[in-house]
Amino acid sequence: VPVPVLLAARGCSSAGERGSGRRERPSGQRFLQVQKAGSKGSVGLIRLQRPQALNALCEGLMAELRRALDAFEADAQVGAIVITGSDKAFAAGADIKEMQGKSFQQCYGGAFLAGWDRVATVRKPTIAAVNGYAVSVPVSLRALCRVPHARGRDSWRSPPAVPITPSPGAGGTQRLTRAVGKSLAMEMVLTGERISAAEAKAAGLVSKVFPVDKLLDAAISCAEKIASNSKLVVAMAKESVNAAFETTLAEGNRTEKRLFYATFATDDRKEGMTAFVEKRKANFTDS
């Protein structure tokens, strides 16, 4: 049963919402619904809810998103995070009405887009359950989530993403790095095209495509599976994926190797390998 998470709220100056009567939810969010999901409450679930603007990313929404991610990052019960949108739109990109009147000085000299990379720096794995439109930045958001899921029949404009298969259950990170190596070829995919979910899947842009009524459950189930592993080793696995993605493959491999050595200092590495050899379920303690 989803458990509401309380967070502080901040306004958004979007013209479309001024006077629209839009109210904060009792939980404090205006543009997000934030809950814990999964049978053990181990999944942080963030739903973008700004339907009148197709979830366009205004500053207020992004501020709420940062706070939600901070809260889940600090929550020891949460092992993975799912971000989703509505039936019509995952998100329609940055808020054009908010950007329209901005000057260079305000953008470059101010804090415009500051902190928008929080979704990339959160250490827990994030899964994007993408439904409907996903334009520009949201697609980057999905890409940064690293485990993109899509619903069928929809389309979006899209830069490349990196689907991965985490395998920290045995205390190692190699399969992650191999998956990233494989995904490098996907960098060739061009942006600006409208493509279907099936095409995105074929191009490796998303890891899986589901019917709309199965999408969120599938994403939560994937997140639960990730969360059932050692949180310590999962964080190392994500760090190694990011290093391989953001640096050269050789440097990424070096980072992965160092982090793999580091797993030998954890109880969970020993438990994971022992459980594998003894053909039993591992009992991770996140230590």
Ligand X SMILES: C/C=C/C(=O)SCCNC(=O)CCNC(=O)[C@H](O)C(C)(C)COP(=O)(O)OP(=O)(O)OC[C@H]1O[C@@H](n2cnc3c(N)ncnc32)[C@H](O)[C@@H]1OP(=O)(O)O
Binding site for ligand X (CB under 6 A): 16, 53-54, 56, 92-97, 133, 135-137
Q: Tell how strand 32-37 and strand 3-4 pair up.
A: antiparallel
Say if residue 149 is exposed, middle or buried (CB neighbours under 10 Å; 0-12, 13-18, 19+).
Answer: buried
Which whole-number Å values give the CA distances from 278 to 84, 171, 217, 263, 283, in the listed order? 38, 15, 31, 19, 12
| CB closer to ligand X out of 99 and 184 | 99
Residue 83 and residue 143 in contact, taking contact as beta carbons nearer than 8 Å? no
| CB closer to ligand X out of 122 and 139 | 139
Question: Which helix (H) or strand (E) covers residue 134, if one does?
Answer: strand 133-134
| CB closer to ligand X out of 153 and 258 | 153
| CB closer to ligand X out of 37 and 137 | 137
CA 189 to chain centre: 20
**What is the rounded CA–CA span in Å between residue 253 and residue 178?**
9
| CB closer to ligand X out of 2 and 16 | 16
Q: Which residues contact 265 (CB under 8 A, 6 or more apart)?
A: none
| CB closer to ligand X out of 58 and 223 | 58
Q: How near is the Cβ of 98 to ligand X at its closest, in Å?
A: 7
Q: How near is the Cβ of 212 to ligand X at its closest, in Å?
A: 17
Q: Which residues contact 31 (CB under 8 A, 6 or more apart)?
A: 12, 48, 49, 50, 58, 60, 61, 64
- Beta-bridged to residue 196, according to DSSP, are 155
Residue 59: name the closest of 14, 91, 110, 121 by CA.
14
Residue 5 and residue 35 in contact, taking contact as beta carbons nearer than 8 Å? yes
Q: How near is the Cβ of 180 to ligand X at its closest, in Å?
A: 25
| CB closer to ligand X out of 47 and 269 | 47
Q: How near is the Cβ of 247 to ligand X at its closest, in Å?
A: 24
Q: How near is the Cβ of 82 to ligand X at its closest, in Å?
A: 22
Residue nearest to ligand X (CB): 93
Q: How near is the Cβ of 59 to ligand X at its closest, in Å?
A: 12
